């Protein structure tokens, strides 16, 4: 008999690690700089942002020195030539990096050109006016995307090799197979049709597993929040947009610009609305994914932060229980958002290749 894997111990472990990471991060700053609520807000904002290094946690030594546990990532800048150096030169934004006689400072998640003292100038709206070199750095989000891509390539390559040999997949393949079959039989075929679904299966599988794995990593204390970056969700939505419109048949475009069976005065009125709808669909995809993931992170981290505000067993226990329940819900949301994005993409593909006789 196959052993069933319970998600409850796994979820509890992830939550406890995340809670410990939050506690250490808050304690690492030494004495409070101000109101505890302000510190919690700053931590949540820091948790949601991308960064130039992986910082798992940090602590302060007795001599006041901050020690960060993690590893740096490569910084790549185009500024009168290619500048490549380690993000450790920034020392988590505390120092200025000198590269070939130029000085750069990491400030609020962006890199600015500055002087040896790290001077940042501002305009009337308190926006930095320092020059910004073209940033091509491997940030935490970029590193995670590359890592997940390689992981998916390994998983599906191993699965494909098993099928080519005529054998059943082993290990991870046994877990992936029912999910792949579900996407094919319950998402792709019903929405696209048996005639055309194979053209889109590779994209649907890629987009589902990519979003799902990325969302699951966001529930760990690694601080990975790829899908709460609107640039990432925009890129994913644009892929669906381009695939839909570049593979669409003449029947699809005919229903947008000159709907059959509709009086011609109404066609003139409806055509701009239908054309506008082409852009609304990918916009809804990117906003739905971005908003749900971001809101989940903010709410979960806020509830954990309440433990440091109450500072008593009753309030902290209630906050802990609520945060644990929400972390269970976040596991569902991680898969649900991947499912919704995949389902809607399949629905758009189906409308693009729908034949006239399918009505």
Residue 67 has pLDDT above 80, yes or no: no
Q: Are 179 and 204 in contact (CB under 8 A)?
A: no
Per residue in 153-200, pLDDT (tens digit) is: 988 888 888 888 777 777 777 888 899 999 999 999 999 989 889 999
The CA distance from 309 to 307, in Å, is 5
Least confident of 78-87, 155-164, 290-299, 350-359: 350-359
**Mean pLDDT value of segment 27-42:** 56
Instruction: Write down the pTM of the prediction.
Output: 0.80
The CA distance from 274 to 284, in Å, is 15
Where b means 16+ CB within 10 Å and e means fewer, 181-216 reads eebeeebbbebbeeebbeebbebbbebbbbbbbbbb
Picking from 246, 243, 309, 312, the residue whose alpha carbon sits closest to that of residue 282 is: 243
Averaged pLDDT of the chain: 79
Residue 7 has pLDDT above 60, yes or no: no
Structure tokens at 135: 């940033």
> Would you state the pLDDT for residue 28?
40
Contacts of residue 36, Cβ cutoff 8 Å, sequence gap at least 6: 308, 309
Backbone angles phi, psi at 6, to 5 degrees: -85, 135
Q: Are 50 and 106 in contact (CB under 8 A)?
A: no
The CA distance from 227 to 208, in Å, is 13
Centre a 10 Å sphere on the Cβ of residue 300 and count the other Cβ atoms it contains: 23
> Would you state the pLDDT for residue 64?
64
Structure tokens at 229: 């970056």
User: Residue 24: pLDDT band by 50, 70, 90 thresholds?
Assistant: very low
Residue 340 has pLDDT above 80, yes or no: yes
The CA distance from 57 to 74, in Å, is 20
What is the number of residues in the chain?
Answer: 359
The CA distance from 234 to 286, in Å, is 5
Per residue in 88-108, pLDDT (tens digit) is: 888 877 788 888 888 899 887
Looking up tokens 């005919």 gives 254
Residue 71 has pLDDT above 70, yes or no: yes
User: Residue 31: pLDDT band by 50, 70, 90 thresholds?
Assistant: very low
Residue 33 has pLDDT above 70, yes or no: no
Least confident of 40-54, 142-156, 178-192: 40-54
Least confident of 5-14, 115-124, 286-295: 5-14
The CA distance from 316 to 331, in Å, is 23
Cα distances (angstroms) measured from residue 166 to each of 154, 158, 160, 169, 179 = 19, 13, 10, 9, 20
Of 118-127, 160-169, 263-272, give the range with the top mean pLDDT.
118-127
Residue 205 has pLDDT above 60, yes or no: yes
Structure tokens at 31: 């004495």
> Would you state the pLDDT for residue 21?
47
> Would you state the pLDDT for residue 225?
80
Note the Cα 177 to chain centre separation in Å: 24
Q: How many CA atoms lie within 13 A of 222 on its CB side?
A: 15
The CA distance from 145 to 149, in Å, is 6
Residue 207 has pLDDT above 60, yes or no: yes
Residue 128 has pLDDT above 80, yes or no: yes
Residue 242 has pLDDT above 90, yes or no: yes
């Amino acid at each position: 008999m196959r052993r069933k894997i319970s998600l409850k111990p796994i979820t509890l472990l992830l939550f406890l690690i995340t809670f410990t990471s939050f506690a250490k991060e808050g304690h690492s700053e030494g004495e409070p700089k101000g109101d505890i609520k302000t510190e919690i807000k700053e931590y949540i904002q820091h948790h949601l942002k991308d960064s130039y290094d992986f910082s798992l946690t940090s602590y302060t030594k007795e001599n006041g020195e901050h020690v960060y546990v993690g590893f740096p990532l490569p910084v790549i800048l185009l500024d009168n030539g290619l500048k490549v150096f380690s993000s450790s030169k920034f020392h988590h934004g505390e120092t200025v990096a000198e590269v070939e006689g130029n000085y750069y400072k990491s400030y609020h998640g962006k890199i600015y050109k500055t002087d040896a003292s790290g001077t940042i100038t501002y305009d009337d709206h308190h926006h930095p006016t320092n020059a910004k070199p073209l940033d091509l750095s491997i940030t935490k989000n970029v590193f995670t995307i590359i890592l997940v891509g390689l992981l998916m390539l390994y998983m599906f390559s191993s699965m494909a090799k098993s099928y080519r040999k005529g054998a059943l997949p082993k290990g991870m393949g046994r877990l992936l197979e029912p999910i792949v079959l579900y996407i094919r039989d319950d998402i792709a075929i019903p929405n696209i049709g048996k005639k055309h679904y194979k053209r889109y299966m590779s994209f649907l599988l890629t987009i589902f597993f990519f979003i799902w794995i990325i969302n699951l990593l966001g529930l760990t204390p690694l601080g990975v929040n790829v899908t709460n970056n609107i640039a990432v969700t925009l890129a994913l939505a644009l892929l669906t947009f381009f695939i839909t419109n570049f593979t669409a048949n003449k029947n699809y475009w005919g229903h947008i610009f000159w709907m059959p069976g509709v009086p011609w005065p109404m066609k003139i009125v409806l055509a701009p609305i239908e054309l506008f709808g082409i852009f609304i669909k990918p916009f809804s995809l990117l906003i739905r994914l971005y908003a749900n993931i971001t809101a989940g992170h903010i709410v979960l981290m806020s509830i954990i932060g309440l433990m440091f505000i109450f500072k008593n067993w009753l309030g902290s226990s209630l906050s802990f229980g609520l945060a644990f329940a929400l972390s269970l819900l976040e596991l569902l949301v991680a898969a649900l958002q991947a499912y919704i994005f995949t389902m809607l993409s399949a629905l758009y593909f189906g409308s693009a290749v729908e034949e006239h006789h399918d009505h």
